[in-house]
Amino acid sequence: MAIAKQAVIDALKEVIFFKKQNNIVDLGMIHELHVNEKNIKVSVVFPELADPSVGIVTNSINKVLKDKFGQEVTVDIRPMSEKELGKGPMAGVKNIVAVISGKGGVGKSTVAANLAIALSKAGKSVGILDADIMGPSVPIMFGVEGQQPGVIERDGKGIMIPLENYGVKILSIGFFVAPDQALMWRGSMINNAFNQLMTDSEWGNLDYLVIDMPPGTGDIQLTLAQSYNIKGTVLVTTPQKVATADVRRAAMMYRQEKLVIPLLGIVENMAFFVPEDMPDKKYYIFGRGATDELAKELSIPVLGRIPIVEKIVETGDNGRPIALDDESLVTRAFDEIAVNVEKEIEKLDA
């Protein structure tokens, strides 16, 4: 008896893509399915073919179909990448750059926001994703707090349309959580939220997607490294040795055998204090040298140093990142960082 195509589809719903915690049919991963007598051919679309999950899913498909329709059934499985098809929400994103830190309070979100602005001012198409689930601050920094992204339906699924301000596309978990609401989420819930922001969104064509990561080495860091094609990471630290010790641990996470992502370099935030009435004076109130030592140890460059200037806080709180101010000393620092990030990426692509 010939095998019905719908019966095959129903059987494939038993195959789970665990990184997105749903079955491959409902996730829209089945590209083509041909059933001819006892022969089944199926094309399955993955975010990345280098992902170990490809083998797991492929083996699961083969087992499920043979268990369902008999061991004599011929199963031909072709894994495909979203990029290969020119499909998928991330297909138009050329470079994903994650901004990370070892701990909170070092200005990681400030660096991410202003790096996105500096890249945009340099003529690049840029998006920023606020993945700091427990402390989303990008909506405030970009002046879009209280707003929500649009939603369109595609293939029966809701797709988010990022907000846009200052030429940068913006998405954040902060758009969906009340300011006074505490997030008490387990790891699976955090990963689901992150994956939705990444893949259930219409990013369009971007030269750069800057991701403001949560501090530390938790669930989202693992998901990012294992599930997405990240071009590289930018480390953010302050000059104190205790801060560089924490960022060293975060950096080493991405140098493990199964989580290798290039480290583009280090940004030293709060590097020195510059009095407004004495712009030529520099006071290294948090010390100096530890960042350079870490950069040498990791064999990566210092991408730039951000001074302590009151206006950084003011502009961030007012929803207009300081990199928009062409007269600011800090703006020149962020413009330099953007140039250096692009140089490091060019080296990787060479």
- pLDDT class for 346, splitting at 50, 70, 90? very high
Q: What is the DSSP string of 244-280?
A: HHHHHHHHHHTTSTTS---EEEEEETT--B--TT-TT
> For 30-60, what is each residue's pLDDT tens digit?
988 999 888 999 999 887 787 788 999 999 9
Cβ contact 221:102 at 8 Å: no
Q: What is the rounded CA–CA span in Å between residue 139 and residue 177? A: 11
pLDDT of residue 85: 67
Predicted local confidence at residue 344, as pLDDT: 96
Helix (H) or strand (E) holding 158: strand 157-161
Quote the pLDDT of residue 214. Answer: 81
For the domain spanning 93-349, the CATH number is 3.40.50.300
- Mean pLDDT (the chain) is 86
Q: Indicate whether 260 pLDDT > 80.
A: no
Question: Residue 253's pLDDT is what?
Answer: 75
**Which of the two residues, 86 and 46, has the higher pLDDT score?**
46
Roughly how many angstroms between the first and final C-alpha of the chain, as a whole number?
55
Q: Is there a contact between 134 and 218 (Cβ–Cβ < 8 Å)?
A: no
Every domain of the chain and the residues it spans: 5-82, 93-349
Buried b (16+ CB within 10 A) or exposed e, 298-320: bebebbbbbbbbeebeebbeeeb
CATH of domain 5-82: 3.30.300.130
Taking only the tens place, the pLDDT of each residue in 169-182 is: 999 988 877 666 66
Structural contact between residues 170 and 163, judged by C-beta atoms closer than 8 angstroms: yes
Q: What is the pLDDT of residue 20?
A: 78
Q: Is the pLDDT of residue 166 over 80?
A: yes
Tokens of 7: 């019966």
